[in-house]
Amino acid sequence: MLFETVATGGCRSYLIGCEETCAAALIDPELSQVDRYAVLAARDGLRIKYLVDTHTHADHFSATQQLARQLNVPVVMHGSSPAPFVDLRLQSGELLVVGKLRIQAMHTPGHTRDSMCLTVEDRVFTGDTLLIGGTGRTDLPSGDAGALYESLFDGVLRLDPSTKVFPAHEYKGRAHTTIGQELAENPRLQKRDRGAFIEMMQNLNLTMPTHITEALRTNMTGGKTVAQMLAEAAAIVPFMSLAELKACIESGKCDFTVLDVRERDAFEEGHVQGARHLPRGQLELRVNQELTDPTRRILVYCEFGRVSTLATATLRQMGFRGAVALDGGMKAWREAGYTLVAGKEG
Ligand SMILES: [Fe+2]
């Protein structure tokens, strides 16, 4: 078996491949690493056949959907996953055939209702059901401490004690552990009584993961993250530097329209000399009155450089092939000490 671990902060993804057939499965891929997985698979001579999420993640952005589009392979989750983009829904005990490898699903609800562990050869991928020296939390949507107790003590912990444990999170850099080691040393597993275990899990008082709303929204629905929206806009837009814009204005040879897409009060407080005002919210509806020459260069700016990127992408989609976004925004412009003009347009 060929085996690669990819760590993204505390998140772990695993690439497992069959040496004989070059078939591979990728477990719990993370959105910021999409290019890395493809490169790793290519380096190892593997072709990814399945993209598996052990559960609906609340703390990172799953890359399964994007990779499925790129690689044209199915997304695999447990049968109870709410995500509409899942192609293959496994029930407990079912196998994924990856060349000569057999990856077996074990439904382990508790951290989430759709959690599953995956066993293959000498190891188990435990998702957030069992962590090294810990367990997944049960206080997030669809979590259930009683279900986790059963999934652990009647499920994953009954695997052979020598089975290697590879969790979806590891914050201390340990590669793996074993079922036997966890049974002996994991502090969460020392409460063998169901009631005591549930009470312990319900009193952990953990802070909410960052980006939980966005992670659940995108992982459950297949929708896009804000970063994806911005990256897609930025990919079809050219940029102009602050210094270049300043030089153009100072030389008096500004042969393009400068468009401020912030709200009116921000514009009137201070804008770039000669700028026209067209708030982002009204862009599509007022563009025919305000921007009559589709061939003209239009430099778009906002406060931070993000809204202007989206607005420039919209303008280019509408046919304004000369639309350019400012690399940075008025915040950076002010901080650089560049000149602003207060007051209304005109
Ligand atoms: Fe999780």
Rounded to the nearest angstrom, the distance between the alpha carbon of 117 and the centre of ligand 1 is 12
Q: Tell me what pLDDT residue 345 has.
A: 78
Burial of 174 (C-beta count, 10 Å sphere; 0-12/13-18/19+):
exposed
Residue with tokens 């989430």: 112
Rounded to the nearest angstrom, the distance between the alpha carbon of 136 and the centre of ligand 1 is 7
Across all residues in the chain, what is the average pLDDT? 96
205-251: per-residue pLDDT in tens? Answer: 999 888 999 999 999 999 999 999 999 999 999 999 999 999 999 99
133-162: per-residue pLDDT in tens? Answer: 999 999 999 999 999 999 999 999 999 999
Rounded to the nearest angstrom, the distance between the alpha carbon of 176 and the centre of ligand 1 is 18
77-127: per-residue pLDDT in tens? Answer: 999 999 999 999 999 999 999 999 999 999 999 999 999 999 999 999 999
Q: Is the predicted pLDDT of residue 346 greater than 70, yes or no?
A: no
Q: Tell me what pLDDT residue 252 has.
A: 87
Q: Is the predicted pLDDT of residue 191 greater than 90, yes or no?
A: no
Q: Tell me what pLDDT residue 142 has.
A: 95
Three-class SS of the chain? CEEEEEEECCEEEEEEECCCCCEEEEECCEHHHHHHHHHHHHHCCCEEEEEECCCCCCCCCECHHHHHHHHCCCEEEECCCCCCCCCEEECCCCEEEECCEEEEEEECCCCCCCCEEEEECCEEEEECCEECCEECCCCCCCCCHHHHHHHHHCCHHHCCCCCEEEECECCCCCCCEEHHHHHHHCHHHHCCCHHHHHHHHHCCCCCCCCCHHHHHHHHHHCCCCHHHHHHHHHCCCCEEEHHHHHHHHHHCCCCCEEEECCCHHHHHHCECCCCEECCHHHHHHHHHHHCCCCCCCEEEECCCCCHHHHHHHHHHHCCCCCEEEEECCHHHHHHCCCCCECCCCC
Rounded to the nearest angstrom, the distance between the alpha carbon of 47 and the centre of ligand 1 is 26
Rounded to the nearest angstrom, the distance between the alpha carbon of 57 and the centre of ligand 1 is 4
